[in-house]
Structure 1
Amino acid sequence: MARSFDPVQLGSIELFCKAAELGSFTAAAEALGVTPAAVSRSIARLEQRLGVRLFVRTTRSIRLTEDGALYRAECQQALEQIAEAERAITGRQTTPTGLLRISVPTTYAHHRLLPLLPAFAQAYPGVALELNIGNRNVDLVDDGYDLVIRLGEPQDSRLIARKLEDATLGLFAAPAYLAERGHPQVLADLAGHDCIQFILPSTGRPLPWLLRDAQHRVVDHAFQSRQRVHEDVLGVVTWARAGGGICQIYHFIAEEAVRRGELVEVLPQLAGATRPFSILYPQNRHLSARVRAFVDFVVEAVELVNIDTESTGSRL
């Protein structure tokens, strides 16, 4: 089949990426064992073939143009995939190495993932970890992440999802608040309490509480509140610990505060509803050894944590 594109100059692309990384043709030449003139000629050929300028050149420095920055991002990913494919074929991928970029929500980062990372780092010293911790849903493919951990059922057909757990939810309040306002005994009692809402960043609307009714069915409990938290869901926990009212949060987040006596679970008969957390990665990308190692490690570690929790006979 005849080619419909110009031959890809992998050597020139590698020189271009190295020059962009180091900010210098001379430094790139030294790093790759060629002359600065060879680097300059290779990049000039790339610019001629693409019909765009990749660098703005001065007598003292170079910097990427907007087109150059875009081209570098795509080329760097392509070179890494080629290197990974070669390592996999030659058997050099038995030891995971390289940078792993991960996006994870605040709740799961602080109370699940971060406590696991020292053990992962010890097991895989060749892997560097870079975490984006926040509640904004990044675009895994377009933003260049290797993995994301997300709440809810994944809808993106480009991604493969492995469920980490179905995290159970409960209602919690500080002992001082309950001493002053009383313990709610049934669902209707919540109308007389300060219930702290979390506003979803994606919709700007309150996140309904998930509760189990008398028939053990999961129902949405929607309510109006004068106390709301935006962006950081952990804010509802801190507010509740300070005596501000009742919050709904995952048992795995509240457990330490409960052990310390800072929170008490209320209406436990309504608890038990769950929301899923999953780890996702692109289905059309070569699965590197470091991605595979991280996914397997986290899935197994979270499973062990949950088994240990169940063996104690309590969620808390």
Structure 2
Amino acid sequence: MNTKRQFDDLLLGSIELFCAAAELASFTAAATAAGVTPAAVSRSVSRLEERLGVRLFVRTTRQIRLTEAGRLYFEQCSGALAQLVDAERLVTGQQATPSGLLRISMPTPYAHYRVLPLLPLFRERYPLVRVDAHISNSNIDFAEDSYDLAIRGRAPADSNLIARKLEDAELVVVATPAYLAHAGTPRSIDDLQHHECIQFDLPSTGRRIPWTLAKDGDFVDFNTDSGYTIGGDVLGGATLARHGAGLFQTYRFVVERDLREGNLVEVMRDFGGATRPFVLLYPHGRLLSARVRCFVEFLVEQLADRNAKRPSTQTR
């Protein structure tokens, strides 16, 4: 049996500092978190690069980023360090108390009608966690923007991100009773060409979002037209609809109170039932902190409970 040590204390410490630098995308931030100097972090990374014979980071005067070899090494090392931490907790019976700053990016409708109402309950359970909520419909870069989590309306093609579905949100077409009394109620898809169909342009692409309606047993995207176009914040379309500007297709959860109180009316029911997914995203291989793991579990649990209590709707 070979009893020669593969990793001495210096090497293990270097791996920890490397993972911190990769996680925070900064030697300085890693040094601050570890209580050492940036030069110590740099020496640790150089030590690993010399041992492995590969470059782990591309360094510029403004930033650092992992090379492909560095990304693979980080994924394996961060997982190994997490297993060591879990092993200690298992043996000692200790549980880490979630604390620190949680940074999450989310789109406006999901923030206002799903996540923000839950945050007081989350902080009641985990008072040592501070939440930085970034509300925008634009995409983010995890490496450059230092977010822990993001919620988006679709799973991205980026294989470096893990996507966990939160729900399939139902779409509805709505208008005010006053608008319908004036313009008439659309009964078919062809009728939409005679109505003000409020438009929304996706911030990340500038592309106009088509309406999704049922036709011949399937869901089809349709281009509609209007004198109104909203860019940036999709909730602006719902506000316009509430003030009688025209028809708007939006998520049921955005207008369910208006529908209950009669401020808005759902139309095109025979062509409804389409859904769009919302997913929770985080980088693959990232060492998730206790606060991030607790928030993920909390959000999934709360949304599952709320959706279970909500009256079911017919979807195709």
Is TM more than 0.5 here?
yes
Deviation of 1:85 (Å): 7.2
Deviation of 1:163 (Å): 0.4
C-alpha separation in 2, matches of 1:20 and 1:288: 18
CA deviation map 1:209-262 (0-9, x unaligned): 00011x331001112322111111001000010100000001011101222322
**For the structure 1 residues 238 and 126, does the alpha-carbon distance in structure 2 shift closer, same or farther, using more than 3 Å as the test?**
same
**Residue aligning to 1:208:** 210
Deviation of 1:45 (Å): 7.6
**Residue aligning to 2:158:** 156
Counterpart AA for 2:219 = V
Q: Is the 8 A contact 2:192 2:224 kept in 1?
A: no
Q: Is the 8 A contact 2:149 2:280 kept in 1?
A: yes
RMSD: 3.7
**For the structure 1 residues 256 and 43, does the alpha-carbon distance in structure 2 shift closer, same or farther, using more than 3 Å as the test?**
closer
2:168 aligned residue (147, 166, 169): 166
Counterpart AA for 2:130 = A
**Residue aligning to 2:119:** 117
Deviation of 1:278 (Å): 0.5
Give 1:39-118 correspondences, 5 Å limit: 70=63, 88-91=86-89, 92-118=94-120
C-alpha separation in 2, matches of 1:132 and 1:218: 32
**Residue aligning to 1:230:** 231
**For the structure 1 residues 219 and 48, does the alpha-carbon distance in structure 2 shift closer, same or farther, using more than 3 Å as the test?**
closer
**Residue aligning to 1:309:** 310
For this pair of structures, how many residues does the alignment match?
A: 273
Q: Is the 8 A contact 2:101 2:130 kept in 1?
A: yes
**For the structure 1 residues 46 and 206, does the alpha-carbon distance in structure 2 shift closer, same or farther, using more than 3 Å as the test?**
closer
Give 1:172-187 correspondences, 5 Å limit: 172-187=174-189
**For the structure 1 residues 93 and 147, does the alpha-carbon distance in structure 2 shift closer, same or farther, using more than 3 Å as the test?**
farther
Q: Is the 8 A contact 1:84 1:93 kept in 2?
A: no
Q: Is the 8 A contact 1:106 1:135 kept in 2?
A: yes
Deviation of 1:70 (Å): 3.5
C-alpha separation in 1, matches of 2:197 and 2:137: 22
Deviation of 1:154 (Å): 2.5
TM-score normalised to structure 2 length: 0.74
Deviation of 1:206 (Å): 1.1
Counterpart AA for 2:156 = P
TM-score normalised to structure 1 length: 0.74
**For the structure 1 residues 177 and 102, does the alpha-carbon distance in structure 2 shift closer, same or farther, using more than 3 Å as the test?**
same
CA deviation map 1:85-124 (0-9, x unaligned): 7754432543222211101001100010111111111111
Counterpart AA for 1:104 = M
C-alpha separation in 2, matches of 1:251 and 1:46: 50
Q: Is the 8 A contact 2:99 2:130 kept in 1?
A: yes
5+ unaligned residues in a row in structure 1: which ranges? 22-31, 33-38, 51-65, 72-77
Deviation of 1:10 (Å): 8.3
C-alpha separation in 1, matches of 2:218 and 2:275: 12
Counterpart AA for 2:243 = A
Is 1:250 the equivalent of 2:236? no
5+ unaligned residues in a row in structure 2: which ranges? 1-5, 22-26, 46-58, 65-73
C-alpha separation in 2, matches of 1:277 and 1:88: 30
Deviation of 1:9 (Å): 11
Deviation of 1:142 (Å): 3.0
Instruction: Name the SS for the 1:94 alignment partner.
Output: coil
Instruction: Name the SS for the 2:132 alignment partner.
Output: strand
Percent identical residues: 45
Larger CA Rg, structure 1 vs 2: 1
**Residue aligning to 2:191:** 189
C-alpha separation in 1, matches of 2:298 and 2:260: 28
Deviation of 1:263 (Å): 1.0
Counterpart AA for 1:230 = G
Deviation of 1:46 (Å): 7.6
Counterpart AA for 1:207 = I
